[in-house]
Amino acid sequence: MLILGIDTSCDDTGVGVVELTDAGQVRVRANRVWSQAIHATYGGVMPELASREHVERIDAVLEDALNEAGVRVADLGAVAATNGPGLMGALLVGLSYGKGLAQGLSVPFYAAHHLEGHIYAAASEADLRAPYLALVVSGGHTHLFDVPREGAYVLVGATRDDAAGEAFDKVARLCGLGYPGGPAISAAAERGNPDAVPLKEPLQGQSGFEFSFSGLKTAALLATQRGVNPEDLAASFERTVVRSLVKTTVRAAEHHGRRTVVVSGGVAANRALRAAFAATGLNVVFPGKGLNTDNGAMIALAGAAAIRAGRAPSDLSAGATAYAP
């Protein structure tokens, strides 16, 4: 069965195609993302402009995805689309489009939670089966979930303030590096000396599993005011964020008795983070290339998991939710 996935939760128009075999194996057949450049001039995402651009682009992105998969729209057996959380207007574009397509084709429709999509992005790399622990680290989230069984998500910890990706973006701006900040910090960090600008690891000694990055951001601001080398600051910042994420996740995995850990979301593309997790000895699964940041294939993978688990299709009357806990 071929499942189409659509994500228009923020400023990327993502459409992907996933194949679900009778044996329950999944394979990503296509993953096309149109990243809206229009927001760069404003230094942040402009919600109304995002919605309009989704409307303008979604037909072309769908066509690209179908071409990449080598299939026709009539071959689709199900459609999945993100219904939250995200920007309301932006979400509605992909959600309405997906529902319309499903109804026109007379195939089942599955509404997917954006974070569930990020987690299932890892199913492109391994046969992902509960139980496992999942760390979602993106521009909007730093959330640690225990997944005791398929489709059940128990929040174990989250950030108290900024998301990790948001901190990367803000510190990149302080260092005079480009946007998005994650890849820019990562590249600068390779040339810097992390010991030159000591930064305190957040929430050291906590018994819980929370994160906090706003203090690091302030420390980075003070460091730039002292005139430190931006590459040294980038290296120290990256190392400190990575240590915090890895240590807390490893403690949570031990506490919940989980051996498998999914690390996903935009920040999961970070090389230093991947290397540090690989050294933990846990079975760490990352999404494949192009599946870390927002995309449609991850939503198709979440749809495939719902179908595989025998979940009923979603009601076409269900709306979008900007804030979906």
E strand segments, 212-288: 260-264, 283-285
Does 181 engage in binding with ligand KG4 (CB under 6 A)? yes
At closest approach, how far in Å is the CB of 8 from ligand KG4? Answer: 12
Does 294 engage in binding with Zn ion (CB under 5 A)? yes
Does 270 engage in binding with ligand KG4 (CB under 6 A)? yes
Helix (H) or strand (E) holding 158: strand 154-158
Segment contacting ligand KG4 (CB under 6 A): 16-24, 58-66, 188-196, 266-274? 266-274
Does 140 engage in binding with ligand KG4 (CB under 6 A)? yes
Q: Which residues are annotated as a binding site for substrate?
A: 136-140, 169, 182, 270
Does 116 engage in binding with ligand KG4 (CB under 6 A)? no
Distance of CA 139 to the CA centre of its chain: 8
Does 98 engage in binding with ligand KG4 (CB under 6 A)? no
Segment contacting Zn ion (CB under 5 A): 29-37, 169-177, 287-295, 305-313? 287-295
Segment contacting Zn ion (CB under 5 A): 56-64, 154-162, 293-301, 312-320? 293-301
CB 147 within 8 A of CB 132: yes
Sheet holding 12-20, edge to edge: 26-35, 12-20, 2-7, 76-84, 109-113
Helices 214-225, 164-174: axis angle to 10 degrees equals 10
Q: Which residues are annotated as a binding site?
A: 114, 118, 136-140, 169, 182, 270, 294
Does 11 engage in binding with Zn ion (CB under 5 A)? no
| Residue among 34, 109, 120, 168 that touches ligand KG4 (CB under 6 A) | 168
φ and ψ at 314, to 5 degrees? -80, 155
Residue 313's binding partner among ligand KG4, Zn ion, none (Cβ under 5 to 8 angstroms by kind) is none
| Residue among 89, 98, 117, 182 that touches ligand KG4 (CB under 6 A) | 182
CB 136 within 8 A of CB 252: no
Please identify which residue in the block is written with the tokens 């128990």. 154
CA dihedral sign, ordered 236, 237, 240, 246: negative
Does 294 engage in binding with ligand KG4 (CB under 6 A)? yes
At closest approach, how far in Å is the CB of 270 from ligand KG4? Answer: 3
Total binding residues for ligand KG4 by CB under 6 A? 20
Q: 101 or 241: whose CB is closer to ligand KG4?
A: 241
At closest approach, how far in Å is the CB of 104 from Zn ion? Answer: 28
Taking the CB of residue 247, how many other CB atoms lie within 10 A of it? 15
Parallel/antiparallel/unpaired status of strands 76-84 and 26-35: unpaired
For residue 283 the two structure tokens come to 């079975």
DSSP-derived secondary structure letter, 269 = G
Does 138 engage in binding with Zn ion (CB under 5 A)? yes
At closest approach, how far in Å is the CB of 255 from ligand KG4? Answer: 26
Q: Which residues are annotated as a binding site for Fe cation?
A: 114, 118, 294
Does 12 engage in binding with Zn ion (CB under 5 A)? no
CB 29 within 8 A of CB 323: no
Segment contacting Zn ion (CB under 5 A): 13-21, 125-133, 135-143, 154-162? 135-143
For residue 173 the two structure tokens come to 């701006």
Residue 222's contacts (CB-CB under 8 Å, 6 or more residues apart) are none
Alpha-carbon distance values, 149 to 119, 153, 154, 259 (Å): 14, 8, 10, 14
**Contacts with ligand KG4, residue ranges (CB under 6 A):** 10, 138-140, 165-166, 168-169, 180-183, 186, 265-267, 269-270, 293-294
